[in-house]
Amino acid sequence: MDETPSLNDEVPTDWNLFDIERLCQIHYILSREELIALIEAHVVEFLLQLIQEKKTLEDLLFKYKFRSEIQTEDQPTALSQTKPINVLKTASGTYSLRHGTSPKRKSHFIWLLMNNIFKLIQQGIKITQRELFYMNVMTFKDQNQCNRYLSCVGDILNVDRSVLNIICMSKGFLYSNDGRGNALVSCHHLTASTVEQIPGDFPTIDFFGKVDTILIVEKDAIFRRLVEDKIFKWVRNICIITGCGYPSIITRYILHQISSKFPQAQIYALCDFNIHGYQIVTTFKYGSVELSKHSIQQSTTLGDRIEWIGLLYDDIKDLPSFYCQSVTEQELKLLDRHQHDVKSRGGKNALQIYAELEKMKTLKFEIESLVSYRDINYLTMFVSKKISRFNIKNQSVSL
């Protein structure tokens, strides 16, 4: 039996009390007590750095970079130059000062949110990102800024943001039907087919049947039109999901759980013919930039399992010009960037996707254009035929 080390034993020189990254390899299963200890450890490390290296509060922000006012010795105060100082945490856990040109970030934002999260975890309370913003509404200029610094806190603690007791706002809907009025999957333990709101926290998903087709829809209105028109009469064992625009991590998590349970299910995406519709498809395929460093995103991307079935150029090329919307300069820049990404990434249907993005530089249509131009019931038949056509193509490829 090994002897228990005493306080008088010599501590190994390579041992680091605050090597949080090495001690916590599986960050997304940390308990409440471990998360509290993790935050406390970073606070203690911060205080030690201030004492030992005589750094100021503005000098330190773990892995992040700040700008500081530095007065050169050979110039008077009025002519002082502003030079950026980067305080970096290296892989070994040490800190260094480097000069660079990184954008300004404010360290007190990080400590403010970390303090909020510490209290939430202690009390076992979960709140939405919107509630977190209004807790600090006098500090942050908008919700997006608060979200960015919340993501920074997750990066600093090296944990998924999902374990910080901050949940998403309830956004999006789920519907499944086996064609006989029975639900295939449910987030609320319901066996009858009904439209379910996607919760703000990670749910337990119940499976009641087999899913053959998963349809991702960009908009709530289009989602409800397909449900109202009973698309399940033409496409059996279908599950329809919408994130009501850009999907939350919860929507992507639910979709990934369903797709993992039914690996043979075909996954299709229906979005507007514009750059924003395409970006929604890529969010489901590859994830979002905001959560790029978090492991929860790595386990929710679907890659080339998703087929982009519309709207495509062939679907809108014959529509009257008055349905076409103007393309902005910002959208053109986004299109160029995504074309570059498609060209660099390659993969399935890369040439076709590149050509579709090229067409989007002059044409921009919403799905509602089809409904208005044709008939209110046209959309469901249009989508059903699309799915049938892609199913036949996929079956022929697999053979």
Residue of 134, 253, 286, 378 marked active site: 134
> CB-based contacts of 303: which residues, under 8 Å, 6+ apart?
285, 286
In which element (H, E) is residue 144 found? helix 143-157
| Whole-number Å distance between alpha carbons of 50 and 58 | 10
Query: How does DSSP classify residue 187?
Result: S
Q: Of 204, 206, 158, 167, whose CA–CA distance to 25 is shortest?
A: 158
Measured distance CA(236)–CA(384) in Å, rounded: 10
Q: Is 64 a catalytic residue?
A: no
In whole angstroms, what is the distance from residue 86 CA to residue 79 CA? Answer: 22
CB environment 41-68: b (16+ within 10 A), e (fewer): bbeebbeebeeeeeeeeebbbbebbbbe
> Exposed/middle/buried for 391, CB within 10 Å: 0-12, 13-18, 19+?
middle
**Strands across the sheet with 266-270, in order?**
196-197, 173-177, 238-242, 213-217, 266-270, 306-310
| Residue type, position 174, single letter | L
Q: Report residue 295 as tokens.
A: 């492991």
Euclidean distance between CA atoms 349 and 11, whole angstroms: 57
User: Which residues carry out catalysis?
Assistant: 134
